[in-house]
């Protein structure tokens, strides 16, 4: 039977009320929260103002500069936004090019206090792409870390520039603005737009801009509460880049709950374990490649860190192999939650610990307010268990890509309000979603359809493989065949090609066995963990024997 999976907000009311996230609000804090709504409207600035009113003395962020409380963070952002208003009184948009540190949050909150559209830029953008994206979005204000100073200068950006993280104070910076005194900017009268960039794995990243409504925020919070049981005020080690939708959503959740967010500019697995130990963190959040890197730390070394305080781990933003999930559950227990979503569709589904116990391959159940359809090639509904294209209609809505003003923005296929995610998947009889691969990754080999992800999952289960990606390459006889790129696991010899083929034949059809196995030192990935396939052939590697 075909099914259109939708969950409503009331599905999360009981879990939300019993999660520990809802706490009584005193009358004084309630008045300050009301002022925040009137001043900033539905935005990240209001979320920040609410937590600052409720928990002024609670530590908001611990980064490489130390700690800062919610009250201090709020006062700094108010000073910064007032100073920016004096510098650029007509500013309509503010772009952020920062790694994970307090300056990212200060820039985003201050921009929202101005009512600016917030444009979050990938910190791994090469200079040429940065120039193109700045030309396309034309922000009035750019807040960036000092390490990107040369690239920003080369881009020809002509707006107001503000330095966030800096090794030596020069020019206009967040710190210098926070020391100034100016009248507060006028109240914000409309929802603040947020613009995220797609992963750009296939070329120049596209921009997805949307206003965030009160209802969308409520549905995202309710989904998170229902699936993860986030609790008020917990210490959270947050590793995903905040410029990405997954990392940004987690940071917003942390702000909303008055959590202490422990962040670093660059991820290091042993540093993450040390942060969990030092701060008795209850939550760890990382993209799948970060989870894999945690598991690559030798067990004896991991045991040196106290991680018993950890009751929840959340991953998402890229595919994660069942093998990695199994390793993590064996090491830390049934505490992992896996999220699935896209820049265009927002949060689509969440797999709870119970879902992953049922099957480590599942992406879980649709988020609250999200409708998911699986459609065949002729766009009729697929049956339960049948693979088709995943179409999503979510609370965030899809408002199209941002045009560069020179040519029409690329279009996504939309059917009955549901946007084509570009992913292939299916539902099981319990309503759980499974991601079978990308529609543009599917190859036809000798007349057979193959989704490389299925082969990757099997190879990832081999103990001698630390990382793997499988692609299709042209072949004169079969049209296309599979090629596997692999990174050997630490302390393991490079497995022979025949050994790997035998490993696959025991689980999959013979036509799904790759013809070639290329050994690499590292698989190229973007900060959210997605494979940069166009760079694979530029890596130095050798054939497995």
Distance CA 369, CA 350 (A): 13
Class of domain 443-543: alpha beta
pLDDT of residue 343: 72
Distance CA 307, CA 148 (A): 35
pLDDT of residue 410: 59
Q: Which residue has the higher pLDDT, 440 or 179?
A: 179
pLDDT at 442 over 60: yes
Distance CA 231, CA 367 (A): 19
Q: Which two tokens stand for residue 67?
A: 């700690």
Domains 41-55+65-204 and 443-543 equal at CATH topology level? no
Other C-beta atoms closer than 10 Å to the C-beta of 265 total: 17
Distance CA 389, CA 414 (A): 12
Q: Mean per-residue pLDDT for 47-75?
A: 96
Contact 79, 177 (CB under 8 A): yes
CA dihedral sign of residues 62, 68, 74, 77? negative
Give 324-344 pLDDT, tens digit per residue. 999 999 999 999 999 998 777
Q: Which two tokens stand for residue 256?
A: 């909303």
Residues in the chain: 545
User: Is 1.10.10.10 the CATH classification of the domain at 41-55+65-204?
Assistant: no
Q: Which helix (H) or strand (E) holds 375?
A: strand 371-375
pLDDT at 163 over 80: yes
9 — pLDDT class (breaks 50, 70, 90): very low
Other C-beta atoms closer than 10 Å to the C-beta of 342 total: 21
DSSP line for 8-43? -GGGGHHHHHTTT------HHHHHHHHHHHHHH-SS
Q: Which two tokens stand for residue 542?
A: 């050798």
Q: Which two tokens stand for residue 428?
A: 């099981």
pLDDT at 129 over 80: yes
Q: Mean per-residue pLDDT for 346-371?
A: 89
| SS3 assignment, position 61 | strand
Contact 528, 317 (CB under 8 A): yes
- Kind of pairing between the strands at 388-393 and 448-450: unpaired
pLDDT of residue 33: 52
Give 31-51 pLDDT, tens digit per residue. 455 565 567 877 889 989 999
pLDDT of residue 19: 43
pLDDT of residue 15: 39
Distance CA 7, CA 393 (A): 12
Give 521-545 pLDDT, tens digit per residue. 999 988 778 888 878 877 767 777 6
Distance CA 69, CA 85 (A): 24
Q: Which two tokens stand for residue 137?
A: 């979005």
Bridge partners (DSSP) of residue 470 are: 484
Give 370-414 pLDDT, tens digit per residue. 899 999 999 999 999 999 999 998 755 555 556 555 655 556 788
pTM of the model: 0.83
Judged by average pLDDT, the poorest of 130-139, 245-254, 327-336 is 245-254
pLDDT of residue 242: 94
pLDDT at 313 over 80: yes
Whose CA is closest to 415, among 382, 459, 373, 455? Answer: 373
- 377 CB burial (10 A radius; 0-12, 13-18, 19+): exposed
pLDDT of residue 228: 58
Please report, for the chain, the start and end positions of each structural domain, with discontinuous segments joined by +.
41-55+65-204, 443-543
14 — pLDDT class (breaks 50, 70, 90): very low
């Amino acid at each position: 039977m075909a099914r259109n999976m939708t969950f409503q907000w009331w599905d999360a009311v009981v879990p939300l009320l019993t999660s520990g996230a809802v706490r009584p609000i005193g009358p004084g804090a309630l008045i300050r929260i009301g002022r925040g709504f009137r001043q900033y409207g539905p935005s990240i600035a209001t979320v920040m103002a609410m937590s600052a009113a409720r928990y002024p003395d609670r530590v908001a962020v611990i980064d490489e500069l130390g700690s800062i409380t919610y009250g201090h963070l709020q006062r700094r952002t108010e000073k910064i936004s007032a100073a920016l208003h004096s510098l650029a009184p007509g500013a309509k948009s503010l772009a952020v090019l920062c790694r994970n540190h307090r300056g990212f949050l200060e820039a985003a909150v201050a921009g929202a206090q101005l009512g600016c559209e917030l444009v979050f830029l990938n910190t791994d953008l090469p200079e040429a792409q940065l120039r193109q994206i700045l030309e396309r979005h034309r922000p009035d204000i750019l807040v960036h870390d000092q390490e990107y100073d040369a690239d920003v200068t080369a881009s020809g950006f002509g707006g107001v520039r503000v330095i966030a993280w800096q090794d030596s104070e020069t020019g206009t910076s967040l710190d210098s603005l926070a020391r100034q005194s100016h009248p507060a900017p006028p109240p914000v009268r409309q929802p603040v737009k947020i613009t995220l960039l797609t992963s750009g794995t296939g070329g120049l990243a596209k921009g997805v801009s949307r206003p965030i409504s009160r209802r969308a925020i409520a549905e995202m919070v309710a989904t998170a509460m229902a699936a993860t049981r986030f609790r008020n005020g917990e210490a959270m080690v947050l590793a995903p880049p905040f410029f990405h939708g997954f990392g940004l959503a987690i940071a917003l959740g942390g702000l909303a709950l008055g959590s202490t967010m422990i962040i670093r500019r660059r991820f290091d697995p042993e540093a993450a374990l040390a942060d969990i130990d030092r701060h008795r963190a209850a939550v760890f959040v990382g993209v799948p490649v970060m989870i894999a890197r945690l598991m690559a730390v030798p067990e004896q070394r991991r045991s040196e860190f106290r991680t018993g305080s950890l009751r929840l781990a959340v991953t998402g933003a890229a595919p994660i192999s069942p093998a990695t999930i199994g390793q993590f559950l064996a090491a830390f227990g049934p505490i992992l939650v896996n999220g699935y979503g896209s820049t265009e569709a927002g949060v689509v589904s969440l797999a709870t610990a119970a879902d992953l116990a049922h099957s480590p391959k599942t992406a879980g159940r649709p988020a609250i307010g999200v409708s998911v359809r699986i459609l065949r090639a002729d766009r009729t509904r697929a049956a339960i268990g049948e693979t088709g294209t995943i179409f999503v209609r979510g609370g965030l809505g899809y408002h199209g890509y941002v045009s560069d003003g020179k040519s029409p923005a690329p279009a996504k296929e939309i059917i009955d309000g549901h946007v084509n995610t570009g992913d292939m998947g299916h539902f099981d009889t319990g309503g759980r979603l499974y991601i079978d691969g990308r529609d543009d990754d599917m190859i036809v080999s000798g007349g057979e359809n193959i989704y490389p992800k299925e082969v990757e999952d099997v190879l990832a289960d081999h103990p001698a493989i630390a990382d793997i990606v499988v692609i299709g390459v042209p072949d004169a006889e079969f049209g296309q065949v599979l090629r596997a790129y692999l990174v050997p696991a630490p302390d393991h010899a490079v497995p022979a090609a025949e050994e790997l083929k035998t490993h696959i034949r025991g689980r999959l059809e013979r036509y799904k066995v790759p013809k070639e196995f290329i050994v690499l030192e590292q698989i190229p990935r973007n900060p959210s963990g997605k494979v940069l396939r166009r760079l694979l052939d530029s890596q130095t590697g050798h054939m497995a024997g």
